[in-house]
Structure 1
Amino acid sequence: MESKSFEKIFSSVTFKDKSHRLVNLICEHIEGTISGKEDKVLSWNPPDNELQFWKDFLENGNEADFFKEILKRTTHTHNPKYVGHQVGVTAPITLLSGMLSNLLNNGMAVYEMGMSSNAIERIVADKICETVGYDSKSGGFLTSGGTLANLTALLSARKAKVEHDVWNEGHTKPLGIMVCEEAHYCVDRAAKIMGLGEKGIIKVPANKNFGMDVNKMEEYYRTSVSQGIQVFAIVGSAPSTATGAYDDLEAIQAFAQKYDLWFHVDGAHGGAAIFSEKYKHLLKGAEKSDSMVIDGHKMMLMPTITTALVFRNRIHANHTFSLDADYLLNETQEDEWYNSGRRTFECTKTMMCMHWYLLLKLYGEAVFDTYVTRQYDLAKDFAEMLLKEPDFEIATYPMSNILCFRYVNPNLSLKDLNELNAMVRQELLEEGDFYMVQTTIRGVHYLRTSLMNPFATVEHLKVLTNKIRSASEKLLQEIKQ
């Protein structure tokens, strides 16, 4: 490649021109989606058609149209009618911190490749530890997503609670972790990656509200131990993914203490409630956990993907991936918070800490309190509205901003109702006016809303409810005919 080509690629003049155009486009997009001027949340296109479009665009598309096409062909989370997945609505300022991270490309694994970012990350982690309720012995770091953070926490648990050096010598006996049957699937993945197998994932049944049935913990623990499984950890969900139900973390903590188990809290979605004066009670017991996960990209207005993993004892944050035995680590190595590559699964990671730090600096913790509280309140308002409608029912009263519900008709069987609700959801997806997801709980098909958008109101949800009712009645009429 000619040197002039590199000059073109790295031209600040060219970049300034393109970035100004993109920023203007983004500002129009934000204003249009939040205000409702851009009515659709997404413009649905079947997978094969979308694939063909981008194949053609690579060969024949106009480069100047690239960003416009991306905006046209993606889901608009800033639209108040986005009630879909647990993906946060990003604060626009974090676009700038992300842009700077992408430019500097400081991988952070060692201090000289991440001086400011390692220091900033330490401050962010300490702030989260303090808010959770940990003391000065605590510590943690940021990593790339809840799945990776939960895996890391369980690796830390195994290292702390299993006498045999599994990290260096492999398994010598069956090991297991306890978790509610309604927990996020990433806990299953972590267990299988760790080689625990199906028997090592001890699933405690959920209660009627879909949180862990803490009265069953003893039974499932004793059964596993009688089968020769060494249970070393128990996971509390805050909340579960499908219904947004919080486990009884106090009861789980007491059980963990009784049997000397590692107590981990998967607060990827709802751990941010520690910042809410109104809802932090849902996390009572987390302050005594050994580790806890909180996603910044769910309920903290940050872009994907950034997750905090904090430990009540910072030693565990430092030792998880150490290649030598713990007793060989001296005090200096133990304290090397500024070399993040020693503590995380990643060697290289983005400067994600800037998102957390910038939001705290500009808006303070109050922004997280306001956001979480508003969205949790909105789910309760939505539930109250649905409870007054004879042709709708909810799966359970919401504890967070997640609500599962369905259209019902007394003349239809469960099978028919399941099919009808699935068809309605698909119809709304293809229409693109609203975006919501779906789930099946105990054989019942529900429409599932995660109320992530801070501009969504009860009025928007009334429109959604009416659309679901109209679509259901129309489909029933077509079937009847």
Structure 2
Amino acid sequence: MSDNLLKNIYTAEEFEKNATKLFKMIKNHLQNTTTGKADRTLNWNEPDKELNFWKVFLENGKNEDFFTEILKRSTHTHHPKYVGHQVSASAPITILTAMVSALLNNGMAVYEMGMSPSAIEKVVTDSICEKIGYTSDFGGFLTSGGTLANLTALLSARKAKVSHNVWTEGYLEPLGIMVCEQAHYCIDRAAKIMGLGEKGIIKVPSQESFAMDIKKLEVSYNEARAKGIKIFAIVGSAPSTATGAYDDLLAIADFAKDKNLWFHVDGAHGGAAIYSEKYKHLLNGIAQSDSVVIDGHKMMLMPTITTALLFKNKVHAQHTFSQRADYLLHDTEEEDWINSGKKTFECTKTMMCMHWYILLKFYGEEVFDEFVTRQYDLAKDFENTLQTDPNFELATSPMSNILCFRYTDSYQNDERLNQLNTSIRQELLEEGEFYLVQTKLRNIHYLRTSLMNPFTTVDHLNLLVNRIKEKAELLLNKN
């Protein structure tokens, strides 16, 4: 390889040439998506065809066409007709923080490889702890997603509540955690990674609203104890992913205190409601939790992937992982916020704290209040639309910005309706105007909208309803 190639890659002129072109494209992309001028939220392609396209492009595509193609061939979360998965239409200013993070590439495992981001991260996590209602000795850190954060929290719970040191001694008795049957699958995954097995996941039944049935807590707990399982933690969903239902955190907090359990709140999606004056009541009891997870890339307008894991007691943020790496880390009794590698699964991680900090600095907490409140209100408006249309049935009244519903027809049984709604969603996906997802609840197939886009209006949702009815009519006429 010629030295000239490397030198050319790193020239400011080479960067400016590519960046100037890309920034113009990003500007146009934002204008066309946020205004709805772009006619599609995605250009659907079969997986094998998409794979083949990129194989061929690597060999034969023009370099200057790469960004054009990736913008065209990806899902447009900034389009108001995006009502799909729970990722935000990231605030454009975070494009710049992502770019600076990629440039500086400070890995943050130890302080000297992340001086500014280590300090910024502490400012950010302390401010969230205060918003949660933690009063003193709190602490936390940022990590790569809710799945990793929830696993870390449960490891912290095990460390704090189990009498022997599982980290060094292994399991000496069967252990378990309690969680609603409607909780996010990552809680099951975390429990199994921890070696608890199926028997160590005590599923508490849900109410009609799909929130945890608090009346079943004592029964579920006693049944597990009768099987010899020592329960060390209970998880409250804020909200559950499938339906957006918030568990009664205050009641769970009381139960946890009574049984001496670690109380963890999975607020990956809806923990951001702590900033909403109108909806923060949904999180009553969160201040009594031992740990909380909140995703910045869901309801806080940040790019994937950045998650806050917060602890009532900062000691638990540091003591989960006890191992030595003498060239990097040394055990200390005092708080060691400067060395991120002590607290997280990651050794290296991105400077994700900049996304949180710049939004707080430029726009303040008000931006989170406005966004969460707007989107939760919009779900209520959409509920009103669906309730007045006899062709639709709701799974439950929305507590957040997630709403599950299905197209119904009195001449069809549930099996046929499941097939019909699956087909409607696939038709919409391939058409590409709207992007929504689907879920199955108690063997019923529902269409599912997560209202993540700040430009989505009731008019867009009314249009979605019309599109669904058009697809349903065509499909029914075929049969």
TM-based fold match above 0.5: yes
The superposition leaves residues 164-195 of structure 1 with CA deviations (integer Å, 9 ceiling, x where unpaired) of 11001111110000000000000000000000
Q: For residue 381 of structure 1, report the CA deviation from its aligned partner.
A: 0.3
Partner of 1:64: 64
Q: For residue 322 of structure 1, report the CA deviation from its aligned partner.
A: 1.8
**In 2, are the aligned partners of 1:378 and 1:451 still within 8 Å (CA)?**
yes
Q: For residue 334 of structure 1, report the CA deviation from its aligned partner.
A: 3.0
Partner of 1:213: 213
Partner of 1:203: 203
Distance 2:464 2:309 in 1: 36
Where 1:393 maps in the other structure, the secondary structure is strand
Number of residue pairs the alignment of both structures matches: 475
Distance 2:100 2:169 in 1: 42
Partner of 2:32: 32
Partner of 2:17: 17
Q: For residue 11 of structure 1, report the CA deviation from its aligned partner.
A: 1.1
5+ residue gaps, structure 2, are none
The superposition leaves residues 77-126 of structure 1 with CA deviations (integer Å, 9 ceiling, x where unpaired) of 00000000001110000010001101111000100000000000000000
The superposition leaves residues 314-350 of structure 1 with CA deviations (integer Å, 9 ceiling, x where unpaired) of 00001011228xxxx9995431101111111100000
Residue identity opposite 2:94 in structure 1: T
Partner of 2:356: 356
Partner of 2:423: 423
Counterparts of residues 259-338 of structure 1 (less than 5 Å): 259-323=259-323, 332-338=332-338
The superposition leaves residues 242-268 of structure 1 with CA deviations (integer Å, 9 ceiling, x where unpaired) of 000000000000000000000000000
The superposition leaves residues 13-65 of structure 1 with CA deviations (integer Å, 9 ceiling, x where unpaired) of 01011001101000000000111111100011000100110010011000100
Distance 1:44 1:336 in 2: 48
Distance 2:87 2:306 in 1: 12
Where 1:264 maps in the other structure, the secondary structure is strand
Partner of 2:451: 451
Q: For residue 73 of structure 1, report the CA deviation from its aligned partner.
A: 0.5
The superposition leaves residues 194-245 of structure 1 with CA deviations (integer Å, 9 ceiling, x where unpaired) of 0000000000000000000010010010010111100000000000010000
Where 1:234 maps in the other structure, the secondary structure is strand
The superposition leaves residues 401-432 of structure 1 with CA deviations (integer Å, 9 ceiling, x where unpaired) of 00000100111010000000000000000000
1:393 maps to 2:419: no
**In 2, are the aligned partners of 1:318 and 1:334 still within 8 Å (CA)?**
no
Moved more, 209-218 or 332-341: 332-341
Q: For residue 353 of structure 1, report the CA deviation from its aligned partner.
A: 0.2
Partner of 1:6: 6
Where 2:389 maps in the other structure, the secondary structure is coil
Partner of 2:375: 375
Where 1:449 maps in the other structure, the secondary structure is strand
Residue identity opposite 1:405 in structure 2: F
Distance 2:123 2:332 in 1: 19
Partner of 1:105: 105
Distance 1:334 1:427 in 2: 58
Residue identity opposite 2:206 in structure 1: A
Where do 4+ consecutive residues of structure 1 move more than 6 Å?
none
Where 2:449 maps in the other structure, the secondary structure is strand
Distance 1:11 1:91 in 2: 29
Distance 2:45 2:300 in 1: 30
Distance 1:336 1:428 in 2: 51
Alignment RMSD (CA, Å): 1.1
Distance 2:68 2:436 in 1: 24
Distance 2:352 2:10 in 1: 24
Distance 1:162 1:267 in 2: 24
Distance 1:441 1:177 in 2: 23
Distance 1:24 1:136 in 2: 47
Q: For residue 3 of structure 1, report the CA deviation from its aligned partner.
A: 1.4
**In 2, are the aligned partners of 1:319 and 1:334 still within 8 Å (CA)?**
no
Q: For residue 129 of structure 1, report the CA deviation from its aligned partner.
A: 0.2
Partner of 1:182: 182
Moved more, 290-299 or 336-345: 336-345
Where 1:71 maps in the other structure, the secondary structure is helix
Partner of 1:471: 471
* Percent identity over paired residues: 66
1:137 maps to 2:140: no
Where 1:334 maps in the other structure, the secondary structure is coil
Where 2:56 maps in the other structure, the secondary structure is helix
Residue identity opposite 1:432 in structure 2: G
Residue identity opposite 1:203 in structure 2: K
Partner of 1:147: 147
Distance 2:449 2:243 in 1: 9
Distance 2:237 2:37 in 1: 38
Where 1:173 maps in the other structure, the secondary structure is coil
Residue identity opposite 2:84 in structure 1: G
Partner of 2:227: 227
